[in-house]
Structures are given as C-alpha cells and as structure tokens.
Structure 1
C-alpha cells in the first residue's frame, strides 16, 4: 500500500519550479545613487586583462571610506560584476580591496575566479597578507587543485605566514579535500598553537577521506587536550562512528552530546539518526527521530535512508508518505534513499515513477541519483533503461561504471537485440565495458572485480576469471576479499572443477565462511558428488549459521541416491 501511495505521489506531483545552479548575478543597480555602473564592463569583467592604455587615470583615493563601503556592499549582495567595475576605478595599491574581491568570489562559489584574481594580485606586485590566503586556499580545495594549493602554500611560507592559525586551519581542510592526509597531518603537527577549529578540521577531515577510526582517535585526543567539543565536533565524530559501525563509541558520543547541551540541536540529532541506522540499531534511530520537535527534510531523509539500509523497505516508502503529509517535498537525496528499496523489492513501477519525478523536478543531471537509477534498473532487469541512464551521465565516475558492469553481471545469460533474432552474452558485455572504463583512465576497485568475476562465473569463462583474480593484486594492488574468493569458487563449481574448488578453499588465506562452503555444497549437488557435499555440509553445520538450506540439499541428494537410512 505504501509503495502504491509513493507511486501515485511521484506520478501526479505538481509542475516543479525552476531549479538552477546559482550563478554569478547580473549587474544590479548600485546601492549608492551617485555610482554609475558601466553596463559593458558589468557584462564582462575579465580578471587577467590589464587596464587599457587609453583609459583615464584613476582619480579615486584608496582611503575613500564611502567607496570602500560601497565595494563591500556590492560584494555582499553578490553583484560581483559591479564590484569589479568599481574596483577598476580604485587605487590598486590597497591590499584590503583586493581581499574584499577575493572574499566575494570565494563566498559566492566562484572558486576559479578566486584563484585567477589572486594570481593577478601577485602579478601586479600587491602584498598578500593573512586575510588573503584562507579564501584562496579554500578555492584550491574546492577545485581539487593540488598544483595551485602547493603554489599558494609555498608563497605563504615565503611570506612567513605558515604558522598563522587561520591559514593552517585552511591548509588542513584543503589537503583533506584533496585526499593528502599526510600533508594535513604534517601541518597540524607543526602548528605552534591549535584552537577548536584546528581539532574539528582534523576530526572532520579524517571523516571526509573515510578513515573513521582515525577520526575517533583524533576526537578522543581533542577531549584529552581539554577542548570542549561543539556541534561540528560531535557531527564529525558521529560520522566516524557511522563509517566504522562503532555503536559503543556512538553511544559514548551521544552521552557527550547530552552533557554538552546539544541533544536538541537538529543537526546533531540527524547525525545521531544516521549513526544508529548505520550501526544497525534502527530502534535507537527512531527514538531520536521521534524526539525531534521541528523535523526538517534532512532528518526525514536520514530516517528514510536508515530504513532502506536496514532492509525495512516498505517502511521507507511509508516514511516518505508521512514526510509528504508533513508538507515536505522530496529532493534528490530522498530519491537516492528510496531507489535501493525499489531495487530490493523489484518495484520497477515505483522506480520509474521516482525517475520521472526527478526529471520533472529537474534534479538531473545528478551523478549520485543517476548511478542509483542505473543500479535500480539493473537489479529490476531493465537493462535497456539502465544503459539509457548510464549513457546520459556526463562525467562517469568509478561508482557509475561499477553499477553498469554489475547490471550486466546480474542479468543472466542472454540479451536479445531490437529485432529479436540475435543474442549475446551479458558476461562478455560486462568485460568489454570494463575495458572501456580502463581506456577512460578510471582505475577499478574491489567492487569492480566482484562484478567481473560474477560475469565470468555466469558465462563459464574460467581463464578470464583467473586472469581478473590474479590481476587484482598484481596490477592494482587490491587485496582479495572473501567475496572475490566466493566468486571464484562459484566459477570453479559451475564448470565442474570440484577438486580444484576444494583445494582452492584449503589454500585460502581467509577463514572460509558458510557462503564459501555453501558454494561448494551447491556445486557438489549439481555434479552429484555426495562425498564432497557431506564435507561441505559438515563445515557449514559447524558454523553459527542458518542451516536450513544445507539440510534440504543433503536430503534431496540422499533421496536421489536412495539412501533413506543413515
């Protein structure tokens, strides 16, 4: 019922308002009547271009406070074109007005313009100070530009600003965004003085790079240093618990939240919901959610995602319905959280309705949403739709490639063409897609090889399977996980190499799980090898696992062999 209500809502939603990415505003009228804005300059104000030789000499004194206030007001209002026009009429020797423009570009998300204007400042010989660099460093981090970031870092060292507290905090954040944890740690260790922002940047930085353990260790060190955690501290530390699935640590931080008087902060409450859901305690997550007096869309999305993550798929749809009744309109994150529920339930109609809702609301292109759609269509057996969405992704990343490769690997043997006459192997298509991915310069990860090995198993490609398995460590330095051994065992079992499969299990560096022995049991069943089936069943029964399937397989094999008595 809940799924039908969701389908109805997404299918009959109102026409969406225009949603567009915020861009640099067009020139606005000046807040001061006497200031005349040149419309041609306002339309295009190049940063690198020097003033024309025929332009009139600047006649405005740099210490004219009224003009500086006007420049400041234009920047704060987002009228960067007007601000640049006024800037060109002012005396450029004043570092302050340069910093005002750089701050404006950075605060309005114009990060490339921030860096370009900084380089122009350098070319004109203007002295940079400790107010200049934090905004430029922020821009380098947002643009993921290590080269520019290191140039700026070198410059501030020459200027003797490498120990400035605010600049060091900015450098730590930049290096974490770039993924260079060692550089961030070095800056932090060499800081002569640290404040709460320094610690928060480190705790949050480890969370950004996915190292939840170090995030929690750093948080504990911060507490031992005598720092009182604030909202960002708690949110980052809870994020570390979410990454590691550390329920005990999350409970401790929850206690810390209560002692700090932050238990009613909705951002902290949302982080608690996310942490408890990812640690498998949905009851705790629901308890925190129900105590939120004024729920926002982020909190609703967190609990919907929690239901989906813990396999409560119908509840996720019902929660979305309650969110709608609370007058909240789903956003892209809501749909990303709901699509896995569609995948697991095989709810193709609801998935298509969500897709259509996203198109009407102009949420696309959105790399995460598009990847979730590829995954949903693949798991629902709609390869044509999955390929269509995948083809429309502008900048495909590793996750989107993995989703498409997995879609082919999950959908059986054959693909019918448009004329219904010719067939091709899904497995070989997945392998070809992997080759295309490598040609694009994208390196695979462990999930990529799970899909590839599954494809080889389905198609019986033994040699290709061994090649992919061996290339993981040899070519990409990826350690084999239990899921990779499971895929190889499936491949060997499907091709009837039971003794090789048994030897493969014995030589595994990891302890075989029930799934591993279950694969051998299934292969033994398919090849009528009762002796090997009994061996696999013995190991399965020795493990703390649901053994119902094991008993059923053995019973059927004994019945077919006429062995009705033990």
Structure 2
C-alpha cells in the first residue's frame, strides 16, 4: 500500500517554534493585510471543503494531494483537516493510512494530538477498525471521555464479542454523567440479546422511553431485534407494528426475529408484506427469505427470492451468495448451487463449506473431497467445519487412510479438541472397524459434549459392545451430561446387537419412566430387532403400544411388525395392521407392499396377496402412463 503523499513539515520536531506559536505569528501578520487575509481564508475554506468531499467519495490519495497543496500555499492546517482525513480512512477502513496520519499528528506536537476533537477521531478510527489495544489505550488517556468515545468503545467491544464488557461500558457511561445516544443504545441492546439478558434489555427499553428516543427508527429497530432474539416475539411484533416509521432495517430486524425462533412461514409472509409496502430488500432480507424457503422446502418461492436478488441488482457477495448456495443445497439442486458458486467473485471459507456439505448431503462424496482439494489449492485454510465434512466423507466411503490424514491435519492445526471434529474422527474409526482408535480419540478429548458421548456410545453399540455402551451411558450422567433420546437409542441398539433382548426391553421401559419420549428411531430399532430375533408377539405388542400413543409409523416400523406377524402366522394381527397401512397412506412404499403380500402368502391367504399385487401393479402402471417419461415410453 502506498504511503501518504505528505510533504516535509516546515518546522521539524526539535524546532523551538511550536505550531501554535507559528499560527499566532501568522495570524498577527495577517492583521496588517486584511485583503490578503480574507483571500487566504476563502482559499483555505475551499481546500478543506475539497478534502472533505474527496474523503466521502473514497478518493483518499486525491485528498492528500490537496493537503500537500495547502502546505505549498503556506496555509494553516488545523486539527479539523486531519479529522476529515481520519474520517476518510474510516470510510474505507484504510488502517495503514490512518496510522500514518496518527504518526504525523504526534510529530506536529501536543496541540494537535491532544486536541479533544482529534483524540476522539483517533479513538473512533481505531475502535471501528477493531484495534482493541490501541483504542483502549487512547480511551484511558482521555481525561473525560465524551459520548462519541463511549459509543465507539461499546460498539467495538460488542463487535469483538465482549458483550459483558460492552454492557459494563454502558453502565460506566451512565455513572459518569454521560447519557448514551442513539448509537450506543442499539449496541447495548445487541450485547443484551447475545447474553440473553432480557431484564437488562428491558431496562434499556425504559431508558429509551425516558430519554425521548421513542421516535428514533434506529433505536426502535434495535429493540425489535433484541426482543426477537430473546424469544419475546409478541413484544417485538408490538413494537414493530407501532413504529411511526419503518426502514428496511426495521423489517430486517423482524425477519431475523422470526427466523431466530424457527417461524419460517411468518418470515415468508413478512417478506411479501415488505415487498407490498414498496420496501426494497437488502442482502439480509433475501438471506432470511431464502433460509425460510429452504427450511420449508419451498422451491418455487426460494427461486423467486433468487430472482428478486438479481433484479434488485444486489451484488453476489459472500453473504448473499452463501444464502443462495445454502438454499439450493438444502433442496437438493446441487447443479444450481454450483452455478452460483462459480459466479461469485469472492468466496470465503463459509461458501466453500456450504458447497462441500451440499455434495455430502447429495451423496457425491468424491466431488466433496475434490472440492476440498480445490479449496486448499486456492490458499484457504480448513476450519473445523471443513475438516468435519472431510472426515465424515471419509467415514461414509470408508476411506480410512485419507481420514487419518485429516486427523493428522487437525492435530497439527490445534483443532482436534473441537467437539465436532472429534465426533467425526470417532465416527471415522468406528465405521472402519477401528474401535480402539475411536476410544483413544474419545479419551483424549479435553471437553466432551453430548454429541461426543453419543458418538462413542453409538460406536460401541454398532459392534454389539453393550457393556461398554451401558458403562459410558452411566458415566456421562456422573459427569453432568444428561442423556437424550439418541443416547437411549444407541444403548438399546447395543443390547439388541449383543442378543440381550430382555435388557433392551428393560432399557426401553426405563427410558419411558425417566420422561424421555421415544422417537420413530426408538420404535423402529426395538420392533425390528425383536421381530428379527424371534420375539414376535413382543414386537406386535410394542406396535400396539405405539398406536395407543397416537404415533404415525414409518415404513421401517411397518415392515418390522409385518415380519413378526408373518413368522408368527398371526393373520388377525396382520389384517389389523393392513388397515393401519391403508389409513396412514403407506401402500405407496414398495417395501411395505412386499411385506404385506409376503404376510398373506405365509398365512395361507394367497387370493388376498394376489389382489394386493394386482392393485399395486395397476397403481404403478397409472403412475407410468401419467408421467412424462411414461408417455414417451408408451
């Protein structure tokens, strides 16, 4: 980066003539030349206006050229000129140039660098550039920080994730007699929502009303965002509806609130209302709408969101590009995601991770690994998300050697302690039959969250090591990690794999007694496991229990219980289950239909089996002739 084109000061640092004294001498000489004074004042003012205009336009080097011309014309350059230049550096985040201005101010003496206006400008510059150490040092040097200094510190601490410190700044600001303005308040609200301190945020809300900020759209938008992220959507919506004026920031705050609380349909409706009101969406608006569309599987709506972004002329940056890629990957349109990815001018690690994850979800493991190689070749460093994706791809394809390379990379880069990475490594070794290596990784983990415990219990269960799975199940509770339904399911599976069917049923009973509600995986694991191992009526009774609880079975559960009916030659139960299948609309499943036919054949009801077979073939024929491919074949 080029250095500042500043000419040498006429008064070197060691000169006995101080800048302020030089200025007084210059001013006293001007009193004898009134016409010249007036002319120089007009010229100086025009130069300063020119510098300010160039800084706002981002033309910093041109602004510094004007400064050089001022020095050449022997015009006085006061602190306000350097303040304008610092503001210009702040607009474009030109940190190196800002440092050079700071150095220049120090050389010009205390009249400049200890000027309150310049001190505040320097503090704001370093704070906005997130230069924590220098900003805090400048803040402590100020004898009495003003409202702008406090707001800069609160904003910086909030951006850097020091939310508690940001709120301490807010409190200290009030104690010092400085009243927070409409810049400090939204940052304090952001810190409160990040910490989920709803009481503190409500206190700020009261302060807003007391100090007359109730009409400030920026502050009100901050309150909507705060209540939304704290789960108080009713309060957020009431504020939003009562706002005298709404900007796109206000709409975005409400959109993000809905998305944060999983209200996808409400978010989509709000987006349409926003469009009806004539508010032009931003990247945040489109990103929220696309996330809602992806979560609801709304393909057409999501494509419309993409089209709106294109028609609005929004740049395909990391935020918007990543949102569109995420949408297409979630709905399984990987080719469209690739097109968007290739159109992006700049990509960050998040963008690469989304595409890799999309390939994995679509089962394109080799393509996911190839994309990782491309990412590496473009000098992007793998983070924990990338590495987890790589190792999971190796686990799914049983590529142990490549997975071990990923394990080594995690150790060399100090991310092997990341719980997501550790889980993927445990899954890798378990899927490749290296249970001892999986155990070693688990024991070496510094912190163990629920996912890591479940990964190791699942590994033991997969190999039928029920004793080890049960021991780990109790150990996790002793270490203060309560089991969830996944933990229970894995332990039950371990007993079934080891042939301990009574213990599996006892574990299921304990699960219900502790208040953990079995999910479909629980029922499917137990019913199928019992049916396959001769516990036929136990499997049928479990299916009846499931029906009493009002749970809709999946095809795997139905196949399991039909197997039990077939092996027990229990025609009556099989016919009852046939009725459930019809009511639940599960006849479209080939595996269910095949099991049903097999049950009737084994129970001596071949005529019913033939009837089901005929109906099934007729349905398949109807589907074929009504589809485009079927018509073409016909």
TM-score, normalised by the number of residues in structure 1: 0.73
Matches of residues 59-458 of structure 1 in structure 2 within 5 Å? 64-76=116-128, 78-92=130-144, 94-262=146-314, 264-265=316-317, 267-292=319-344, 296-326=348-378, 328-391=380-443, 393=445, 396-409=448-461, 411-414=462-465, 425-433=467-475, 435-436=477-478, 439-440=480-481, 446-455=485-494, 457-458=496-497
Distance 1:269 1:86 in 2: 38
Q: Is the 8 A contact 1:175 1:184 kept in 2?
A: yes
Q: Give the whole-Å Cα distance in 1 for the aligned partners of 2:314 and 2:204.
A: 37
* Residues in 1 aligned to 2:303 and 2:342: alpha-carbon distance in whole angstroms: 18
- For residues 377-425 of structure 1, give each alpha carbon's deviation from its aligned partner in whole angstroms, at most 9, with x where no partner exists: 444444444444445555544444443443343x2322xxxxxxxxx62
**Number of residue pairs matched by the alignment:** 491
Match of 1:529 among 568, 577, 591: 568
1:214 is displaced (CA, Å) by: 2.8
Of 524, 527, 544, 1:486 maps to: 524
Name the CA distance, whole Å, in 2 between partners of 1:131 and 1:164.
11
Structure 1 residue 509 corresponds to structure 2 residue 553: no
Q: Which residue of 1 aligns with 2:508?
A: 465
Q: 8 Å contact 2:359–2:365 — kept in the other structure?
A: yes
- Structure 1 spans left out of the alignment, 5+ residues: 1-27, 37-58, 415-423, 560-564
Q: Which has the higher helix share?
A: 2
- Asked if 2 retains the 8 angstrom alpha-carbon contact of 1:537 and 1:550, the reply is no
1:518 match:
559
Over 3 Å counting, the alpha-carbon distance change for 1:147 and 1:359 in structure 2 is farther
**Contact 1:342/1:376 (<8 A) preserved:** yes
The equivalent position to 2:591 in structure 1, one of 544, 547, 553, is 547
Partner of 2:71: none
Instruction: Give the secondary structure class of the aligned counterpart of 2:142.
Output: coil
1:111–1:139 Cα contact (<8 Å) kept: yes
> In the aligned structure 2, how far is the partner of 1:385 from the partner of 1:176?
45
In structure 1, the residue corresponding to 2:508 is in which secondary structure? helix
CA distance in 1: counterparts of 2:437 and 2:220, whole angstroms? 48
Q: Identify if the C-alpha distance between structure 1 residues 369 and 246 changes in structure 2 by more than 3 Å, giving closer, same or farther.
A: farther
- In the alignment, the residues of structure 2 paired with residue 386 and residue 211 of structure 1 have an alpha-carbon distance, to the nearest angstrom, of 39
CA–CA separation in structure 2 for the residues paired with 1:452 and 1:163:
58
TM, length-normalised to structure 2: 0.66
Q: Given the alignment of the two structures, is residue 31 of structure 1 paired with residue 72 of structure 2, yes or no?
A: no
Cα gap change, 1:62 to 1:487, in 2 (>3 Å): same
Closer, same or farther: CA 433–167 of 1 in aligned 2, 3 Å: farther
Q: Once the two structures are superposed, what CA deviation does each residue of 1:226-261 show, in whole Å capped at 9, x if it has no partner? A: 211121111111111222222232122222223223
Residues 514 and 545 of structure 1 are in contact (CA less than 8 Å); yes or no, is this contact kept in structure 2?
Answer: yes
Other structure's SS at 2:405 match? helix
Kept after mapping to 2: 8 A contact 1:300/1:323: yes
8 Å Cα contact 1:61/1:91 also seen in 2: no
- Deviations 1:490-525, CA, capped at 9 Å, x for gaps: 465354414413533543513333211122244457
1:178-198 deviation line (CA, Å, top 9, x unaligned): 444444334434433221112
Task: Decide which moves more: 248-257 or 542-551.
Answer: 542-551
Q: Aligned in 2, Cα 1:240/1:397: closer, same or farther, shift over 3 Å?
A: farther
Is the CA contact 1:75–1:100 (under 8 Å) kept in the aligned structure 2? yes
Q: Is the 8 A contact 1:308 1:338 kept in 2?
A: no
Is the 8 Å Cα contact of residues 32 and 70 (structure 1) preserved in structure 2? no
- What secondary structure does 2:590 align onto? coil
Shift in Å at residue 305 of structure 1?
0.9
